[in-house]
Amino acid sequence: MVRTLVLFVALSLIPLSSVCGKELKLAVVPKFHSVFFDQSKAGCIDAAAQIKGVKCLYRGPDISNVRMQDQVINQLIDEGVDGIAIAVTQSNYLVKNSLKRAKEAGIPIITYDSDVDTSINEDPSHLRLAYIGTDNFELGKTLGEELKKIRPNGGTLIMQSGRPDSPNLNLRLMGVRSALSGRKYATPPGELLNNDLGWTEVREPFFNFDQLDQSVKQMESVMKGKPITADSFIAVGGWAQNDQALYRTMIAPYQEKINNNKVIIIITDTSSEQLTMLADQLAHINIGQNPYEMGRQAIQTLYKIVTKQKYEKTIYTPIRVCTPENVDTCTKIAGLEMVGSE
C-alpha cells in the first residue's frame, strides 16, 4: 500500500546481515553531482554503514546529461552490482537503453528524486520497483499555494525549470499551475496560465539546462522587468541560488523591489547558503526537500528487495516551507536538517 512514511525510521530495524555472506554492492546514481544530490550520497553511505556486508556506490555525471548518466548505469551493470537507485534525467532514453539492459540482467532498479514519467506509455512499476523522494506534484502545489498567500488576487508569473523533458520538474510545474488555476491537468506540465483565477504566465518557463550562470541571467531579466514584466517568479529548483556570490551580486540592485513585494521570489530547496540568503531577505520563500533521506531510504529499500523482504513501493520524503521569519527552525527535523538545490 502506497503511503507516506514517518521520517527517520530507526536504523536498528534493518537486519545486519548480507546475502549468503556475499558483499552487496548497491548503487545510487544522481542526475549529476551538485549540492543537492551529493546529500543523497551522505545518506547512502550512512545507511550502508549500518548494514553488515553492504557497500554504497555513488556515481553520476558531472553535468546533467542523459547519455552520460546512461553510461554510468551501464558501467554499474557491467560491474555486476546488486541494485541501482536512479534519479531519472530523461525517461525515454534510459528506458530504451540502460534500464532495459538492467532489467534483462535481473538487477533491481528503483528511482529517487525523479521517477520514470508517463511519456514511456508503460506502467513505471514494470521498469522500477519503488520510488523514493519528494511528491513532486505536491511540491509544485505548495509553491503555488504560498504565492497565493502573498498575492491572493492573482498576478503575472514567470517560472524557471531545468529541462523541458525532466519528469520531476514537469510535475512541479503542473502542481504550480493546478494550485493557481484550480484546474486538474491530464499530463505534466499542464497548460500555460491565461487569466486563470487571475493568474497569467507571461511566457513559457525559462529552461536553464542546469547551467547556473544561465539561471541567474534569466532571473535577472525578471528583476529588471525587461524585456518581459512579471510580478512573481517561481523556480522549481534552486539553480540561481547555487552560486551564492553570483546570486547576491545579481539581486542586490533589486532589494527594494523584494522588500515592497513588487516581485515575489519563491525558490525550491533550502541549502545552508540558501537559508542565509533567505534570512537576508533576498527571497520571500524557499521550499525545502530532503535528499539525504532519499539516499538513506534508497539503500534500505534496495537491501530489502535483494534480501526478499517486504518494502514500500512509494516513499515520499517531506517538504518544509521556509520564510525569513522561521528560517532558523524550518528545516530541522529530529535534530537533522533538510537541504538541497535541484
Q: Are residues 184 and 242 in the same domain?
A: yes
- At 21 the pLDDT is 64
Taking each helix axis as running N to C, give the angle between helix 35-49 and helix 291-306, from 0 to 180 degrees, rounded to the nearest 10. 40
Q: What is the mean pLDDT of residues 138-147?
A: 98
In a domain, 56, yes or no: yes
Q: Are residues 105 and 248 in the same domain?
A: no
**All 3 cell numbers of residue 337?**
536538517
In a domain, 337, yes or no: no
User: What phi, psi does 71 have (nearest 5°)?
Assistant: -65, -40
Q: For the domain that residue 86 is a member of, what is the CATH number?
A: 3.40.50.2300
Domain span at 28: 20-134+290-318
pLDDT digits (tens, 9 = 90+) for 18-49: 455 679 999 999 999 988 899 999 999 999 99
In a domain, 1, yes or no: no
Q: What is the mean pLDDT of residues 257-280?
A: 96
Compute the residue count for the chain: 342
CA distances from 212 to 128, 206, 275 (A): 31, 13, 18
Residue 17 CA, distance from chain mean position: 32
Q: Are residues 75 and 44 in the same domain?
A: yes
Helix (H, G, I), strand (E, B) or coil at 281: coil
287 within 8 A of 266, measured Cβ to Cβ = yes
Regarding pTM above 0.85, the answer is no
Q: Are residues 150 and 180 in the same domain?
A: yes
Q: Are residues 152 and 281 in the same domain?
A: yes
Helices (H), 157-254: 167-181, 212-224, 244-251
Q: Are residues 172 and 219 in the same domain?
A: yes
Least confident interval from 111-120, 129-138, 204-213, 238-247: 111-120
Q: Are residues 281 and 159 in the same domain?
A: yes
CA distance 251 to 280: 11
User: Does the pLDDT of residue 282 top 60, yes or no?
Assistant: yes
Q: Are residues 119 and 226 in the same domain?
A: no
Q: Are residues 93 and 181 in the same domain?
A: no
Q: Are residues 35 and 149 in the same domain?
A: no
What is the tally of structural domains in the chain? 2
- At 100 the pLDDT is 93
pLDDT digits (tens, 9 = 90+) for 289-315: 999 999 999 999 999 999 999 999 999
Helix (H, G, I), strand (E, B) or coil at 113: coil
Q: Are residues 115 and 157 in the same domain?
A: no
Helix (H, G, I), strand (E, B) or coil at 112: strand
